[in-house]
Structure 1
Amino acid sequence: MDIKVLIIDDDVELCELLSEFLALEGFLSHAIHNGQEALEHCKEHHYELIILDVMLPGMQGLDVLRALRKFTQTPVLMLTARGEDTDRIVGLELGADDYLAKPCNPRELAARLRAILRRVRPTQEHSTELRVGELQLNSSQRQASYANAELPLTSAEFNVLFSLLSRAGQVVDKDTLCREALGRPLSAYDRSIDVHISKIRRKLAELGGEQLVLSVRGVGYQYAADSQERGQ
């Protein structure tokens, strides 16, 4: 069965090329070239993945992403101008799952999309429920809670936190987190994991979970083994 993908990009020719290639890879694509129109469309139609260009006429891609996250957690891969680190960081802060610089290799785009799908579609045999202190994660249902309150996470945030929680009390290096949570090795100057960690901390803090995710300078991050005491 084809995987439904929405492409939001004003470059009509690029959308046609990507759609043709993705069709060969098992993706059924639909393209919309206007941000506001795409938002209204997403309220009525479901997609398994969204490809979103940051540079859109009228309503900018980051504004589209901000609005999307108010009503859907559909995974979003951003297309950014090469070298525009600020757009990437802001996009991740707003809830994007991954990014790819334009011009992009269609094969890499397909690989990134499949990596996202693997993260959001865990197989039943790997279904796991983890609980440390007040934090609970269920990988099959992709649900998270803290102190019995729902913890809303994007797919990337869920996977980062799952990797940390499965090794509670241990330091997990950034490359391991990047491979497990984002499906790719850590590259130079890539701050994706740092941004996701920042958002996870903020969301936990809103539910009363302070100082649960610790930084280990020059190495990575650690979920505190004594998190139940820290969370109180």
Structure 2
Amino acid sequence: MNVLSHPKLPVRQKLLIVFGTRPEALKCFPVVRAALAHPGFVTETCITGQHREMVDQVIELTGLPVHHDLNIMQPGQTLFDVTSRVLLGMAEVLEKAKPDIVLVQGDTTTAMTAALAAFYKRIPVAHIEAGLRSHDINSPFPEELNRKIAGDIATWHFAPTIQARDNLIAEGKAANTIFVTGNTVIDTLLHFSGAIDADKLMSAKLAARFPFLDPAKKMVLVTGHRRENFDGGIHRICT
């Protein structure tokens, strides 16, 4: 199923891309850029502010446009606080923006709740980084349930890997609604890697700051959830 040919959508669709954390913003960055450049889309973004300072860092770095800002973050916020504020805030944004498609990313409370809000408004949802599964609803908590809920709501699933696609098919998702795209964070990495290579001053500063990095050798970049910093998680990933 081609997103552009969905029978219930107009010829030029309005997209609302929702994110609220730093990882979401980094992974949505190439999607927003591509959508803004695509003649078939009118694109707006909505940030929830789930991680206010950290998402603002990415906005400043990337120059991502912000059309709607829920600004929900409060000191000591709980999952109940985030969920309720995102849900109520999204109700207003969806009524104002009237998107044809809502895009959410990953497994955050923002992604799950924005997908739920779109479902309540009967707006189709596309899920970026779909199909990742630990098969343990309590680990990671609450992310495993968040991404399963978003996946059950979504009409289109952009899976980063073949395994993620297979997980979705095993859950009963139609194969023609699943697109194996790779992980969009790689697109972000390549974008900024190219920008650094083109900036001789920046390249020199980084070489001075990280002298142990040998450009003649291959580099392996390992990323993980912040919880992997505890109990030897990073060590297990690397070994």
Q: TM class by shorter-chain length?
A: 0.3 to 0.5
Structure whose CA Rg is larger: 2
Greater fraction strand: 1
Q: Which has the higher contact order (CA 8 A, sep 6+)?
A: 2
Greater fraction helix: 2
What TM-score, normalized by structure 1, do the two folds share? 0.35
